[in-house]
Structure 1
């Protein structure tokens, strides 16, 4: 809105911000805006890219609208799912994601879906492509991966915060699912410090 107030929005039809900006902005990183029309932010990023290069435009886009880092375990409704996922199963999957840091009983997730435990287990597996327990494990491993990269917390504390008991169990899960240790994962995903 600020860019529109200073004239960038109206200038989008002009020669510098019209089709040229639209073409440049197609190559910009996703910043969460509709591609139906060129937004003022995309116009501004197109100008930055033209004047200073794609890397600077990408850095600005990341600061303005950072995209969450996806890990191998990032749960996404529909990624392994069937063509149709009911609202009840979606709601229970989102509930599992929101409560993954605590002890969860399957009957709690079944209650969110307003189903019997047996029907919930069957429907979740059919619609999501994994069991609720496997889905919960992926949620917890995803949380661990994020905390390993984004914080300096000890491994044991991360495991407890993510509902996985302790560091020994987390290390065992990492070896099984990622063929690495949590410490090695942290070191490999963090940017190298320049000195």
Structure 2
């Protein structure tokens, strides 16, 4: 069945964030071309809703769409009302959220997290929001474990993202979680965005960072991606850019937001995911091709990075593809 997504809109909604769910979920297709998500925009009262720009949007659906949704997304707004000032939902928003069925996945983009927190959905859970709001958010909702550094947090049935483009990262992650890497990569290519961004919000916070004399580590990254099966060393990667290990590490972190080692592990995990989904190769062989060396090492990294074993991941995402369907190219 098509997964139903309801996007809950409030006055002052930011158009960019409002458009993310419709764009990402709207272009997701299965290998047979079928639409995987149905996106409906709704509000506490249907009709025109103010944006933070010089135009309004016509919202066709009321809160009944929340009762029918499998996933509810709350984009950012500059008019959050009592959710922002007092940490509680206004009566009309509270009545709308009361329609959400137990077990429905709830998602926030940027300051939409205030709405989820005011509804009590983030109590005792990890969550994130735009880094500029993190301190205020934590004071207003002390029961939420706020992480201001990450691009998004997946806590099972509740997911939150940082500001603006991090909403794209989160929605792509949801597609990847629901239907696998190949589908998410197709969506990313269609939308001309990277399927995965490394690092967290810290790389976007306005702090004084010295401009490096050499402005990119792209050649080393490209070389590493083509040699993931080899036991790569930091010295080899630095040598590709004719830098010392210390200089390369500093510049790599400035550009990517993470250390070379963490980035390399992330690429190997992504390669392993693709091979687990799209091939019948034994786990030992996949571990070798991804540079993990042994199945035990790969199992450790997937458990740490994804929370699942290789066999469990394969069962989940191989089962999502119709029998006989061809694997889509990745990249």
Q: TM-score, normalization: structure 2?
A: 0.35
Task: Map 1:153-168 onto structure 2 (within 5 A).
Answer: 153-168=281-296
Deviation at 1:164, TM superposition (A): 0.4
Deviation at 1:69, TM superposition (A): 5.5
1:142 aligns to 2:270 (yes or no)? yes
Which of 223, 228, 232 is matched with 1:95 structurally? 223
Structure 2 residue aligned with 1:104: 232
Structure 2 residue aligned with 1:171: 299
Whole-angstrom distance in 2 between the partners of 1:75 and 1:97: 14
Structure 1 residue aligned with 2:185: 68
Structure 1: gaps spanning 5 or more residues: 1-25, 31-54, 60-65
Task: Map 1:1-195 onto structure 2 (within 5 A).
Answer: 29=27, 56=33, 68=185, 76=197, 82=203, 87-190=215-318, 191=320, 193=322
SS for the counterpart of 2:216 is helix
Structure 2: gaps spanning 5 or more residues: 1-22, 37-182, 188-194, 205-210, 324-331
Whole-angstrom distance in 1 between the partners of 2:200 and 2:253: 13
**What do residues 55-108 of structure 1 show as CA deviations (whole Å, max 9, x unaligned)?**
85869xxxxxx87368xxx65578879469965312222222222221111111
Change in 2 beyond 3 A, CA 1:173/1:181 = same
Q: TM-score, normalization: structure 1?
A: 0.57
Change in 2 beyond 3 A, CA 1:102/1:144 = same
Deviation at 1:167, TM superposition (A): 0.8
Change in 2 beyond 3 A, CA 1:80/1:183 = farther
Deviation at 1:193, TM superposition (A): 4.9
Whole-angstrom distance in 1 between the partners of 2:202 and 2:225: 16
Structure 2 residue aligned with 1:36: none
More helix by share: 1
Is the Cα contact below 8 Å between 2:238 and 2:244 reproduced in 1?
yes
Change in 2 beyond 3 A, CA 1:105/1:113 = same
Change in 2 beyond 3 A, CA 1:136/1:56 = closer
Whole-angstrom distance in 1 between the partners of 2:33 and 2:216: 43
Give the alignment's Cα RMSD to 1 decimal.
3.5
